[in-house]
Structure 1
Amino acid sequence: MNTLKLKPATDHRICFVGDSFVQGTGDPLCLGWAGRVAQDAVARGINLTHYNLGIRRDTSRDIAARWQQECAARLPADYEALVVFSFGVNDTSIVEGVLRVAEEESIDNFQSILRTASSSYKVLMIGPPPMPDSVHNRRVAQLDKQFAELAATLNVPYLSVFEVLRKDAHWLKEAIANDFAHPGKQGYECLARLVQEWSEWWFR
């Protein structure tokens, strides 16, 4: 998999597209992991404008329906256009006894989104994080594995964060104390570090 190089001394615009974990729900600083990695890039002297396009409860189906219009409005051709996707947990949620999005549809949505996005932008994908529920986590882990394998075939860099965060005391402890889903400050800091230390991350 090839690392995507950025042009030096360029105005960069980046969209973070996804669900409530992208939006940063539960973070008392209202930054989440996306805000933290953008903040770090600016502190390193990167000329960066970032847009958080995370929407709470969004599934891959919801994101497939909206991402193109939202990114196109924010990523003009004369800028270094970057898009980071992250979703999947909501697909694996069960509401009134029914899985919100079947695995087959999740995979189809994933493939369509990343194939289309990578034809126009530099793209990265961050995998779904764990939940403090072992049964739900089995579904998240399975989808994460499928996403990672498919991303490799599409030549889109993919960061799986599931196992690391599942073993992180802050992520699960804060999620349980909050709403049994979203972490707080320390959990998002941990996820931000995983992205910043990733070899494929643009602003290292």
Structure 2
Amino acid sequence: MSEPSPATTPDNLRICVVGDELVAGMGDPRALGWVGRVMARTPAEPPALVVPLAVPHETTTALSARWETEADRRFAPPPADNRLVIGLGSSDLTRDVSLARSRLNLANMLDAAAVKRVGTFVVGPPPRPDIDGARIAELSNAFADVCLRRRVPYVETYAPLRTHDQWLSDVASGDGVRPAQAGYGLLAWLVLHNGWHDWLGVDAE
């Protein structure tokens, strides 16, 4: 019996999610993070193959250097529907990466994905109590501008969470930097209500 073509395989939709420890769900006692929660609310038939590719505390410089090699190994050949989700954190601000370099790193990733005809979706950095909020806002605005210029969906997480009581208390109850269960739930809600289903072409539950 011959093997099925890529168009009929059950993992026709493949989503690689790259980013730092937030993509990995670090600190979540349920081990779901925002990625697991989003996919649990994403109806698809057949279900998508989702591959989180996270490196804790990674800068956009390191991310832009590795994502293509790692994702290419997981993507299926045409006509499979390969997608890339980029979860951005704030490590650029703690590792002295300039704002211009941060912008360029994201731009290079989006442009390379476009050449490969890989659809992209970007999630911005949420608040962190150990980093000045104005700096995170500036970084998030820069990322949003890069995405806007390329018509790539961007989920702003800093602005809606910076004074959110549940987010602040959840971070404080954990390691003081990253969210726990409730915080990841809030991140997932923001993703689900900011273009996620439209981007995938599926109906919301």
| TM-score normalised by structure 1 residue count | 0.86
Moved more, 21-30 or 159-168: 159-168
Q: Indicate the residue corresponding to 1:13 in structure 2.
A: 14
Q: Indicate the residue corresponding to 2:85 in structure 1.
A: 84
The percent identity for this pair of structures is 31
The one-letter amino acid of 1:73's match is R
Distance in 2 between residues matched to 1:165 and 1:12, nearest whole Å: 31
Q: What does 1:24-43 correspond to in 2, within 5 Å?
A: 24-41=25-42
Structure 1 spans left out of the alignment, 5+ residues: 1-6, 94-98
Specify the SS of the correspondent of 2:113: helix
Distance in 2 between residues matched to 1:82 and 1:22, nearest whole Å: 15
Distance in 1 between residues matched to 2:24 and 2:155, nearest whole Å: 18
Q: Indicate the residue corresponding to 1:171 in structure 2.
A: 167
Specify the SS of the correspondent of 2:15: strand
Structure 2 spans left out of the alignment, 5+ residues: 1-6
For residues 60-84 of structure 1, give each alpha carbon's deviation from its aligned partner in whole angstroms, at most 9, with x where no partner exists. 0110111001100001124211110
The one-letter amino acid of 1:181's match is V
Largest Rg, 1 or 2:
2
The one-letter amino acid of 1:56's match is P
The one-letter amino acid of 1:62's match is A
Specify the SS of the correspondent of 1:181: coil
Q: Indicate the residue corresponding to 2:4 in structure 1.
A: none
Shift of 1:45: 4.3
Q: Is the 8 Å Cα contact of residues 88 and 140 (structure 1) preserved in structure 2?
A: no
Moved more, 109-118 or 65-74: 109-118
Could you list the runs of 4 or more consecutive aligned residues of structure 1 that deviate by over 3 angstroms after TM superposition?
none
Q: Is the 8 Å Cα contact of residues 118 and 156 (structure 1) preserved in structure 2?
A: no
Q: Indicate the residue corresponding to 1:130 in structure 2.
A: 127
Distance in 2 between residues matched to 1:86 and 1:115, nearest whole Å: 16
Q: What does 1:65-84 correspond to in 2, within 5 Å?
A: 65-78=65-78, 79-84=80-85
The one-letter amino acid of 1:76's match is A
Aligned pairs, how many? 190
Compared CA separation, residues 117 and 29, structure 1 to 2 (3 A): same
Q: Is the 8 Å Cα contact of residues 10 and 80 (structure 1) preserved in structure 2?
A: no
Distance in 2 between residues matched to 1:132 and 1:146, nearest whole Å: 20
Q: Is the 8 Å Cα contact of residues 11 and 49 (structure 2) preserved in structure 1?
A: no
Specify the SS of the correspondent of 1:123: strand
Q: Indicate the residue corresponding to 2:49 in structure 1.
A: 49
> Does residue 187 of structure 2 align to residue 191 of structure 1?
yes
Distance in 2 between residues matched to 1:138 and 1:92, nearest whole Å: 11
| TM-score normalised by structure 2 residue count | 0.85
CA RMSD after TM alignment: 1.9
Q: Determine which of 93, 97, 102 is the counterpart of 2:98.
A: 102
Shift of 1:46: 4.6
